[in-house]
Each structure stands twice: as C-alpha cells, then as structure tokens.
Amino acid sequence: MNIPIIRKVLERNDAAARENRELFDSSGIFCIDLLGGAGCGKTTLLEMLLPRLASSMRIAVLEGDLETTRDAERIAALGVPAIQLLTEGGCHLTATHVRRALDQVPLESTDLLMIENVGNPICPANFELGEHCRIAVLSATEGDDKPLKYPLLFRTAAAVVISKCDLLPHVRFDPGRARAEINRINPDARVFLTSNTPNSDLDELTHWISVKTRQAHGAPMLT
C-alpha cells in the first residue's frame, strides 16, 4: 500500500536531483555528497580536508542537520562559504533542500561543492541530490561489520573513509575486514584510513578529490 507513495517520493526527488546536476554541470561545479552515521566524523574530516584543497580550488559547503547551525559555523570558521540546511526532524537531505540552498551559493566562483548529509547511515543513501559522487564515512568506533549491514551506503560510494583510526588500539575494529566487506559489495570503492591526529596522512584522499574535481572540469582550476 505504501510502496507506490514511496516510489513517487523517490521519483520526484530524482527529477529534482537531475535539475541540480544540470545546474552543477552548466556552472562547472563538481559536487560530492558526504554521508555516514551520526558523529562518525564528517565535519571533522571536512575541517581537515578543506584547508588542503582550498589552495587549488574554490569550495563551498552545504551542511545538512536536523537542528542548529553548529556544523556550518565550524566550516565558516575556516573561511569557506558554508550554508546550513535544516531538515527540522527529517532524517536525510533531499534534492529540493539542496536546490533551495543553491540560491545562496556563488555558483560562478565555485569549483567544488561539498554536501555533508544528515548523520544517518540509512535514509540519505536513498536520496540523490544531484551529486557527481559520494564519499561514505565509517568510524572505527562503529564496528567493522557495518558495510554489509548498511550496504546501500557503501555500494553507492566512490570512496569510503574509515575515520577515527587513532582509536584502533582501543576498539574491536579490523580495517582489513571492513575493507574486504566494502569491496565485496563495491569492488571499485577506494578506501582511505584517517584520524584527526596531527600525524594523519590525508595526502592520498586530498589527491583523489583533487583529481576527481579537475577531471570534471577538464582543465586546471586555480593556479
């Protein structure tokens, strides 16, 4: 009984996502949707990555949350334009949320648009936003069994970040098992291990995002 309604909601969202994608493409914007469970380290990852990426490209961030502007404030503190989207209880962003926020994004002077989705490993994966690719975040504290339990999140991600790896000595999390499970459902997914410690090596992930963004532009961006 409910299935036709759900299908209609998804079809409407897909149509809006296609419009967003057209707008991104015509504006020369590469868009990444960052997804993962509540508190898995999405904003922390952005705080670490954005300063590294900002020297070679112009970035804007959309922050999805149920309530508060806390995450957008953290990103704005880096000097990166950040717009907070509030779902007011909704457990995921929709393409329409993104479309409304795009009015506030300087489209002509943005190379990379990062969207941090609502912290939730389930619903956001069902809703395309018009993004060119997804990065899923799985923290070491969530357990290495999660890829097969939440397969859509990991199947649709071009890259998976295993975050909080500084805590590996203290939690039961085998990065090899997590990587194997991710690649069992998504053989092409790139897997990166990160932590918020000063010695964390983010070079590979930074390079991966830079290359993807540059490829989408087909030309160098900031020199």
Ligand X SMILES: Nc1nc2c(ncn2[C@@H]2O[C@H](COP(=O)(O)OP(=O)(O)OP(=O)(O)O)[C@@H](O)[C@H]2O)c(=O)[nH]1
**Shortest distance in whole angstroms from residue 173 CB to ligand X:** 12
**Region of 4-12, 17-25, 36-44, 146-154 interacting with Mg ion (CB under 5 A):** 36-44
Nearer of residues 40 and 98 to ligand X, judged by Cβ: 40
Q: Does 43 bind Mg ion (CB under 5 A)?
A: yes
Q: Is the dihedral of CA 100, 101, 107, 113 positive or negative?
A: negative
**Residue 167's binding partner, choosing from ligand X, Mg ion, none, with beta-carbon cut-off 5 to 8 A by kind?**
ligand X
42 binds ligand X (CB under 6 A): yes
Q: Which residue is nearest to ligand X (CB)?
A: 119
Residue 213 interacting with ligand X (CB under 6 A): no
Q: Residues binding Mg ion: what is the number (CB under 5 A)?
A: 3
Binding to ligand X (CB under 6 A) within 135-164 occurs at 163-164
- Residue with the closest Cβ to Mg ion? 43
| Options 19, 25, 145, 166; binder of ligand X; rule CB under 6 A | 166
**132: contact with Mg ion by CB under 5 A:** no
Helix axes 42-53, 203-217, angle to 10 degrees: 70
Which 85-114 positions form the footprint of ligand X (CB under 6 A)? Answer: none
Tell me: does residue 21 bind Mg ion (CB under 5 A): no
Give CA separation, 154 vs 46, 184, 189, in Å: 19, 10, 8
List the single partner that 106 binds among ligand X, Mg ion, none, CB under 5 to 8 Å by kind.
none
Contacting positions for Mg ion (CB under 5 A): 42-43, 71
Q: Please report, as ranges, the residues that interact with ligand X according to CB under 6 A.
A: 36, 38-44, 71, 119, 163-164, 166-167, 195-196
